[in-house]
A and B are shown apart, each in its own frame.
Chain A
Amino acid sequence: MTETFYDVLRRQGISRRSFLKFCSLTATSLGLGSAYAPKIAHAMETKPRTPVIWLEGLECTCCSESFIRSAHPLTKDVILSMLSLDYHVTLMAAAGHQAEKQLEEIKKKYKGNYILAVEGNPPLNEDGMYCIEGGRPFVEILKETAADAKAVIAWGACASYGCVQAAKPNPTRATPIDKVISGKPIIKVPGCPPIAEVMTGVVTYMLTFDRLPELDRQGRPKMFYGQRIHDKCYRRPHFDAGQFVEQWDDDAARKGYCLYKMGCKGPTTYNACSTVRWNDGVSFPIQSGHGCIGCSEDGFWDKGSFYDRVTDIKQFGIEANADKVGGTAAAAAGAGVAVHAALSALKKAKKSESTEKVTGDN
C-alpha cells in the first residue's frame, strides 16, 4: 500500500475541505479553470510520493548539508512525507551491492517518473576515473540514471556550472551536467551551496504545482534567481549615497555601509540571499560584513579576486584588469602623442627654417 500525497496532507492535519480548496486554487493558478480541480484532486489522492534519486559526483557535499538545513519545510517532512528520497549516498542506510541494487530497482520501477537530483559534476579526463563509483566512472552512472528521469535538478554551482574543481586549469575536466545530459529538462539551482529553503522551495514547487518552475535564460528558476543580491540588498541606500566601507573594520564597516569597495559581487550576482537570507533568515554574507563573492554565478572562481570590483580579465593574463589594460593603452597613447607632437614640431621648425632661408636668399 503506497501512501499518496493526499494521505500525507491529511496526516498533517489538512481537512478534506481545505484539500479540495487547495486543488481548485492549484487548478486556477495553472490556468486550467475550476473544472480541472477534481482531476487534480484525483491525481493527488492516488499518486505515490515522487521518487528522487540524488547522485553525487565531484563535490563537497555542502549542497546536501545545505538541504538538510531547511526550516520550512523541515527536511524531516520533505524526506518522510513529500517525496521519496530513494537514493542518496550520504544519507542512505544501505551500501555497496545493496545500494547499487536499490538504484537499479528505482530506475526500473519508476521509469520516466523519478526526479534526478545531481550534486557535483562528472570529470571527463582520465576516462572519467577522477570520480569512481562502484568501480565505474561517475559520468556513466549519471548518464544512465538521467536517461529514464522525468526531470533533472542541478544542485549548486558544481552541477550547474562546474564550480571550484572546474576553476582554471580544471585538471580533471569537471563538466557541468547539462553538457553530458541531453533531452531532459534541467533546472539549475546554483550557489555554493544554494540556500536550503531555495532548494526545498524548488522541489515543493514541482510537487505542489505539478510542473517545472519557470526558468530564465540560464536555466535557473526565475522565482529565486530573477534578481541580483544588489537589487534587494539592505545596504543599497549606502551604495546610492556613495557611502562605502573603505577598509575592514573601519567606522563604515561598523555602521554597515556598502561593501562595494571591498569587492562585493552583489551587483553582478543573481541569488535570493538578500531576500530569503540564510539559515531560516538569520543573515547572509553581506549582513555579516563580507562582500558577496558571487557564488551562484557561472565561473565565479575565475572572475578575479573576491576583493576587487574592477576584476581581472583572464584573456589578458592573471594580473590584468580593465583599468590596468585600458589605462596602460591610454597612457601609452598619451605618451606616444606627446613624443609625436614634439617630433612634428621639430620637423615643422626645421622645414620653416629652410623655407625662411630660401626666402632670405632671395
Chain B
Amino acid sequence: MNLNAAAAELENDPQTAAGKTVYVYEGPVRLWHWINVLCIVVLAASGYLIASPLPSTPGEASDHFLMGYIRFAHFAAAYVFTVGFLVRIYWAVVGNSHARQLFMLPVTDMKWWAGLIRELRWYLFLEKQPYKYVGHNPLGHMFMYLFVTVAAVLMICTGFALYSEGMGLGSWQDRLFGWVIPLLGGSQATHSWHHLGMWGIVTFVILHVYAAVREDIMSRQTMISTMISGHRTFRE
C-alpha cells in the first residue's frame, strides 16, 4: 500500500463515521491511566525534592523526618507505579486490541505513517482536519510509546537500581536491577539518568494534556470523556 491509498482508507474508515460511538478503553486501562497520573505527579514532585531538598528544618534531627517522608512517598508511589505498569502489561495481553497499542509502534504499517504525517501537518496548521481514530492517533501513539512505555522501563530499571543501593547487595532489587549501575557508569550517573527521565516524562505530560484538551475541542472525536467512560463518539 502506498501513502495515498493509506490516506484514502483512513479518511473513509466506516468505523469513524460521524455519529458513531465505539467502546475503546476498557475499565482496567482507564483505571490504570488515572492511577498512573497520580503516581507520576507524586514521583516527579518527590523526586525533584530528593535532588533539590527544601530549606532546612531547625531543631533536633530526631524530631524530624522530612526527607524520610519525601523519599517514602517516592518509593511508595514507585511501587504503585511499577505494579500498575505490570498489570497494564498483563491487560495488554488479555484486553482488547486498543490495550495493546501502548506497547507497539506499527512502523511497518503505511496507514500509521500516513496518519503520522497528517497529524504533524494538522499541528502545523497545514490541514483543516486530522483523521479520526478509534484508538490513539499516530503522533500521540508515538509519544506515548517513547515517553511512557520506554520511559517507564527506564525509570523502573534505574529507580530500582538506586533503590537496591539502600536494600543492599544480594537483595532482590540488587539481583534484578543491580547491573544497571555499572552499565550507566556508576551510581551518580544513574541518578543523573533517572533525573533526566523525570524531565522527559514532565515534558510529555505537558504536551499530552494540551493535545488531549485541544483534540477534544478541535478534532472530530471525543477525548477526555473517552478516557473516563471508555466510549468514543465521532463528529462531522
Contacts and interface: CB of A to CB of B under 8 A. Distances in A.
A337 B206 contact: yes
A226 B178 CA distance: 12
Nearest to A242: B66
B53 A260 contact: yes
B57 A243 contact: yes
B168 A326 contact: no
A300 B199 CA distance: 24
Contact of A348 (B181, B195, B202, B218): B218
B196 A227 contact: no
Interface residues of B, number: 49
Contacts of A228: 165, 187
B182 interface: yes
B2 interface: no
B189 interface: yes
Nearest to B62: A237
Interface of A is mostly: helix
A62 to B, nearest CB: 21
Contacts of A70: none
Contacts of A329: 199-200, 203
Contacts, number: 144
Contact of B64 (A218, A241, A269, A332): A241
Interface in B164-195: 165-166, 168-169, 178-179, 181-182, 185-193, 195
A255 B191 CA distance: 28
A313 B196 CA distance: 10
Contacts of A242: 53-54, 56-57, 64-67, 70
B192 A313 contact: yes
B63 interface: yes
B55 interface: yes
Given A226-B169, A237-B62, A322 B207 contact: no
Contacts of B1: none
Nearest to A256: B61
A251 to B, nearest CB: 9
Contacts of B206: 330, 333-334, 337
A269 B190 CA distance: 12
B61 A268 contact: no
A246 B65 contact: no
Given A297-B186, A325-B199, A348-B217, 12 more contacts: A216-B169, A217-B178, A240-B64, A241-B62, A242-B56, A246-B55, A261-B53, A299-B185, A322-B51, A333-B207, A337-B207, A341-B214
Interface of B: 51-58, 61-68, 70, 123, 125, 165-166, 168-169, 178-179, 181-182, 185-193, 195-196, 198-200, 202-203, 206-207, 210, 214, 217-218
Which are the 6 A-B pairs with shortest beta-carbon distances?
A326-B199, A242-B66, A241-B64, A268-B187, A322-B195, A237-B61
20 contacts: A216-B169, A222-B169, A242-B66, A242-B67, A246-B55, A246-B56, A268-B188, A299-B185, A300-B186, A300-B188, A303-B189, A310-B52, A311-B192, A322-B198, A326-B198, A326-B199, A330-B206, A340-B123, A341-B210, A347-B125
Interface of A: 216-218, 222, 226-228, 231, 237-244, 246, 252, 257, 260-261, 265, 267-270, 294, 297-300, 303-304, 309-311, 313, 321-323, 325-327, 329-330, 332-334, 336-337, 340-341, 343-344, 347-348
